[in-house]
């Protein structure tokens, strides 16, 4: 063999050839994800179940207290709504927003549909709150009952025609009763609902206040006057009339409630009108 010729390379024995390391077994991650998801779902379901039970207990206590405090019949329907999750609010010591509603609630001989929304109601001790708002709604029949308490008001003729309350009153002229239709605009003033004349009808035609005075003289005062209905006398002093309007077929009165009413006996006594 000539110099420079290359020598043939012999293959290494099999036992000397290095082998690649076997791949590590792949971990199966998805069962852990599924297990975590199941646990999470069960935890959420348990939370909502516990919250639902807490809500049921709280609303039941509120219903019982409302029936007791207002001397309502045992079968009086009372709706109670609590905004948000109940358990964190109970832990925090107060309910953020609590709404109570009931139809045909009678107070002081007057009946109306009542809705109250209280804020930051303490769940321990005195049940203090930061404040509340309320509405009392009267349908036509309920409004007639309320206005029957006002001396001289022809409550049996009352109707509702937004934005006014309507009534009819007879004026006597030469021994003849002449019906005058009156539209009355409601407003709130110092614990009273004030009904002020807005328009008049005579014989089916609209007439002015001056025309009525010219025709009937001093007799026209009976239909040209304001009518004051004291609402404060039926409610605790801590409840203040803030507004009133005719909304559809209802007269709706709005109230503000002093947050100290739960702890101040003076605010729990019936109010008065100025």
pLDDT at position 220 is 93
What does the pLDDT look like over 4-19, one tens digit per residue? 554 555 554 555 445 5
Beta bridge partners of residue 134, listed in sequence order: 116, 255
Helix (H) or strand (E) holding 187: strand 176-189
pLDDT at position 126 is 61
Residue with token string 């007791």: 68
Residue with token string 């004030």: 194
How far, rounded to the nearest angstrom, does the alpha carbon of residue 138 sit from its chain's CA centroid? Answer: 16
Residue 1 pLDDT > 50: no
* Distance in angstroms (rounded) separating the CA atoms of residues 101 and 108: 18
Where do the domains of the chain lie? 48-129, 141-233
Contact 248, 124 (CB under 8 A): no
3-class state of residue 133 by DSSP: strand
* Distance in angstroms (rounded) separating the CA atoms of residues 11 and 9: 6
What does the pLDDT look like over 195-240, one tens digit per residue? 999 999 998 899 999 999 999 999 999 999 999 999 999 888 999 9
* Distance in angstroms (rounded) separating the CA atoms of residues 57 and 68: 17
* Distance in angstroms (rounded) separating the CA atoms of residues 96 and 121: 7
- Of the CA atoms within 13 Å of residue 261, those in its CB half-sphere come to 21
| 250-258: strand order across its sheet | 79-82, 94-107, 110-122, 131-138, 250-258, 239-247
């Amino acid at each position: 063999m000539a110099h420079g010729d290359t020598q043939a390379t012999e293959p290494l024995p099999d036992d000397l050839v290095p082998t690649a390391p076997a791949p590590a077994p792949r971990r199966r991650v998805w069962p852990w994800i599924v297990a975590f998801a199941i646990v999470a779902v069960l935890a959420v379901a348990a939370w909502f179940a516990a919250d639902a039970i807490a809500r049921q207990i709280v609303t039941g206590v509120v219903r019982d207290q409302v029936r007791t405090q207002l001397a309502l019949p045992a079968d009086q329907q009372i709706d109670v709504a609590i905004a948000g999750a109940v358990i964190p609010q109970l832990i925090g010591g107060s309910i953020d927003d609590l709404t109570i509603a009931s139809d045909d609630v009678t107070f002081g001989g007057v009946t109306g549909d009542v809705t109250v929304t209280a804020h930051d109601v303490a769940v321990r001790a005195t049940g203090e709150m930061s404040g509340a708002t309320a509405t009392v709604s009267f349908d036509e029949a309920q409004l007639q009952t309320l206005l029957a308490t006002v001396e001289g008001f022809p409550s049996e003729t009352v109707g509702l025609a937004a934005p006014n309350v309507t009534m009819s009153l007879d004026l006597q002229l030469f021994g003849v009763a002449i019906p005058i239709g009156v539209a009355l605009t409601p407003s709130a003033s110092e614990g009273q609902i004030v009904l002020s004349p807005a328009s008049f009808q005579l014989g089916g035609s609209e007439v002015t206040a001056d025309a009525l005075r010219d025709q009937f003289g001093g007799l026209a005062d009976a239909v040209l006057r304001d009518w004051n209905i004291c609402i404060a006398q039926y409610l605790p002093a801590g409840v203040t009339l803030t507004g009133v309007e005719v909304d559809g077929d209802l007269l709706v009165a709005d109230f503000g409630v002093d947050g100290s009413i739960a702890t101040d006996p003076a605010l729990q006594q019936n109010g008065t009108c100025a």
